[in-house]
């Protein structure tokens, strides 16, 4: 049995001090795809077909646009709009207009980069479970991490069967790690709140100072663009 994906990035990010190593991995994966879409991929027929079919979500459009190669973005958006043109033909009657409305609404929910990132992330969730089974010391890395954002925690649970005969142990360790770290952050948040009581004004805040933005990462994932 071989891994779904190279384990180097997993080890690196699990050893980084952060609230969710999977958010850190996702950032790297997303950057790689953005880079491809702004460079070589733009010339490939296969990619142009996918871009024509699914387009980009607003977030990925903005990310592409904020980088250097504007011509590349313009060419790809042109391909997408060409594919959408048929949706703007005037309808002959209300029945077809309503059908057209559904198709237009659906067309704004697809994104070629979101799909590629998601496909890659699934490989990471599976590989992490496999590493727990195959690499003797990986459980220590897992336990000493700060847990995950709740979205990525749920994804790890969803693919936990890939840990094979140690799946039960895997979900248990994942659960303990997540629970302990949610409590840790909750404590830091409490400390942050208590500090607003004048009687505690002189107490040192320490790590609690950043409790709120880190809680944001836990609840909604890391924010970046
Ligand atoms: Zn995350
Ligand atoms: Zn997207």
How many Cα atoms occupy the beta-carbon half-sphere of 104 within 13 Å? 13
Quote the number of domains for the chain: 1
Which DSSP state fits 55? -
From CA 131, how far away is CA 100, in angstroms rounded?
Answer: 48
Q: For the chain, give the longest Cα–Cα distance.
A: 73
61 domain residue, yes or no: yes
Ligand nearest to the CA of 113: 2
How remote is the CA of residue 152 from the centroid of ligand 1, in Å?
A: 5
How far, in Å, is the centroid of ligand 1 from the Cα of 148?
5
> Nearest ligand, CA of residue 34?
2
What percent helix, strand, coil does the chain show, rounded to 5? 75, 0, 25
C-alpha 137 to ligand 1 mean position (Å): 22
Could you tell me which residues come within 8 angstroms of residue 63 by beta carbon, excluding any fewer than 6 positions away?
30, 34, 225
- Token pair recorded at residue 3: 């891994």
In a domain, 146, yes or no: yes
Q: Does 126 fall in a domain?
A: yes
Q: Which two tokens stand for residue 38?
A: 């702004």
Q: Dump pLDDT digits (tens) for 6-30.
A: 899 999 999 999 999 999 999 999 9
- Residue 170 covered by a domain: yes
Q: Is residue 73 part of a domain?
A: yes
How do residues 107-129 score in pLDDT, each as one tens digit? Answer: 999 999 999 999 999 999 999 99
Per-residue pLDDT at 1 exceeds 80: no
Q: Which ligand is nearest to the CA of 26?
A: 1
Ligand nearest to C-alpha 24: 1
19 within a domain of the structure (yes/no): yes
pTM of the predicted model as reported, rounded to 2 decimal places: 0.90
Which domain does 61 fall in, by range?
A: 8-220
**Position 159 in a domain:** yes
Whether 113 is in a domain gets the answer: yes
């Amino acid at each position: 049995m071989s891994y779904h994906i190279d384990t180097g990035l997993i080890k690196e990010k699990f050893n980084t001090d952060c609230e969710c190593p999977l958010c850190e991995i996702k950032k790297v994966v997303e950057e790689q795809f953005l880079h491809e879409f702004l460079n070589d991929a733009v010339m490939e027929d296969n990619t142009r077909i996918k871009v024509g079919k699914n387009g980009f979500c607003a977030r990925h459009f903005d990310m592409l646009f904020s980088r250097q190669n504007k011509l590349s973005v313009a060419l790809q958006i042109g391909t997408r709009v060409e594919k959408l043109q048929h949706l703007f033909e005037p309808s002959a009657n209300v029945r077809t207009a309503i059908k057209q409305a559904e198709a237009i609404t659906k067309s704004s929910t697809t994104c070629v980069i979101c799909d590629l990132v998601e496909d890659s992330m699934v490989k990471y969730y599976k590989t992490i479970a496999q590493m727990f089974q195959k690499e003797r010391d990986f459980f220590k890395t897992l336990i000493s991490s700060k847990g995950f954002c709740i979205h990525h925690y749920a994804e790890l649970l969803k693919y936990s069967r890939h840990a094979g005969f140690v799946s039960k142990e895997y979900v248990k360790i994942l659960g303990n790690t997540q629970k302990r770290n949610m409590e840790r952050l909750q404590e830091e948040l409490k400390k942050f709140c208590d500090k607003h009581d004048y009687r505690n004004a002189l107490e040192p805040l320490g790590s609690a100072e950043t409790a709120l933005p880190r809680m944001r990462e836990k609840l909604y994932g890391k924010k970046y663009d």
